[in-house]
Chain A
Amino acid sequence: MATTTAAITLTSADLLTDALSLSATNTLYKAGTTVGLDQTTGMARAFLTATTVVDIFPQLIEGSIAFENKSSWVYICNKSEDETEFFTVKICENVIGKLYAGDFLWMPWSMRESVNANNHHGDITVAPSVDTGMAIEFTCINEGTEYPTENLVTS
């Protein structure tokens, strides 16, 4: 069983009158258990040169709802160094927010099926703000992966 730990520290010495210091740590488990997550997409890095909206985890959501409501964790980081450039991050067509240069997110993902019946199980998508090239890193640590089946040529 794998062990994955995640920790966050939020600090600011000058936001408030008193210093802000908030820390949290947890181990990533399969849904409702104390069994560690054991699958991952691995860390990916992409360089996107169009402002097209792209699905960054297509391998996790095709075909069935086998992993709906399981435990999955997503990390996305905008690797741009230009503070004006951002990625718009959506889940199933709903805008979560914008990751500006150097920003990251860390969030759970339920892979809920859309009622649009298009097998887009809570697609997580990103769209660069410019088409001059923006780098992004992302990974998913998850409980189950459904890979697309072989696309056989039948003609």
Chain B
Amino acid sequence: MATITAQLTVNSDITDYGIAINKSMTLTKAGTNNGLERTTGVQRVYLKDTKHIDLAKGGLANTNLEDMTVTGNTAGKVYIKYLSDDTSKYVIIGLGNEADNVTATALNGDATFFEIGRLYGNEWMIIPWNGASNVGDITVQPSIATTADQAIVEYIVFFE
């Protein structure tokens, strides 16, 4: 059993009283105190166009990645970072299916695709991941990406 720890620190002077979040969590399997013990490792993808693609596919149990069970009542976690020093550029992080390698247009709750948020240059996120088959893919689409100026995204998945 592995021990994986995530430490989040947020500090702000946005109010006179400020905001200070200092929270640590140990990544455990669903409903237990046993630590997650599998990972994709840190992945780095280079996107050379603005197509909408899957970053991590849900429902992968017993398929492409051996024993990668992120679907259903599990406790997977996903960390994603957009590697760019340009804060005017972003990648759209979505939930659902990729849009057949074209620009994503669906923005609804019918399980096709929904935009979670945008990571601008140097921003990152960490979320739990349901990873349901077909509807739970983590998708990414850069605002700007060319062969000469590729968008670089790093991510890592921890799963049961």
Docked-complex contact B9 and A103, CB < 8 angstroms:
no
Are A106 and B11 neighbours in the complex by a CB distance under 8 Å? no
User: A122's contact among B115, B132, B135, by CB below 8 Å, is which?
Assistant: B115
The residue that B19 contacts in the complex, of A8, A89, A96, A141, with Cβ under 8 A, is A141
Query: Within 8 Å of chain B (Cβ to Cβ): is A50?
Result: no
Q: Is A63 an interface residue (CB 8 A)?
A: no
Interface residue tally of chain A, by bracket? 35 or more
Distance in Å from the Cβ of A113 to the closest Cβ of chain B?
Answer: 7
**B interface, over-half SS:** strand
Which of A20-28, A53-61, A147-155 contacts the other chain?
A20-28
**Bound: A6/B125 CA distance, A:** 10
Q: Are A8 and B8 in contact (CB under 8 A)?
A: yes
Q: A43-B19, A98-B75, A114-B107 are in contact. Are A104 and B32 (CB under 8 A)?
A: no
Given A83-B28, A122-B114: A10 and B12 interface contact (C-beta under 8 Å): no
- Which of chain B's residues has its CB closest to A9's CB? B7
**A106 CA to B21 CA in the complex, in Å?**
11
B76 at the interface (CB under 8 A from A): yes
A113-132 vs B, Cβ < 8 Å mask (1 yes, 0 no): 11110000010000000000
The CA-CA distance from A56 to B41 in the complex, in Å, is 33
Residue pair B116, A6 in contact (C-beta under 8 Å): no
Is B14 part of the contact surface with A, judged by Cβ < 8 Å? yes
Residue in contact with A110 in the complex, picked from B12, B115, B156, CB distance below 8 Å:
B115
A75 at the A/B interface (Cβ < 8 Å)? yes
Residues of chain A with a CB closer than 8 A to B135's CB: 94
- Determine if B79 and A22 form an interchain contact, defined as CB atoms under 8 angstroms apart: yes
Please give, as numbers and ranges, the residues of chain B lying within 8 Å of A62 by CB-CB distance: none
- Let me know if A12 and B125 touch, CB within 8 A: no
Residues from chain A with Cβ under 8 Å of B120 in the complex? 29, 31-32, 71
Cβ-neighbour of A8 out of B2, B4, B79 (below 8 A): B79
Q: Which residues of B contact A72 (CB under 8 A)?
A: 117
| Complex CA distance for A115 and B110, rounded to whole angstroms | 9
B123 lies within 8 A of chain A by Cβ: yes
**Interfacial residues, chain B to chain A (CB-CB below 8 A):** 2-15, 19, 21, 23, 25-26, 28, 30-33, 37, 39, 41-42, 73, 75-77, 79, 81, 87-88, 90, 92-93, 95-96, 106-109, 111, 114-120, 122-132, 135-136, 156
- Report A's interface with B, CB cutoff 8 A: 2-16, 20, 22, 24, 26, 28-29, 31-34, 37-40, 42-43, 69, 71-72, 75, 77, 83-84, 86, 89, 91-100, 102-110, 112-116, 122, 139, 141
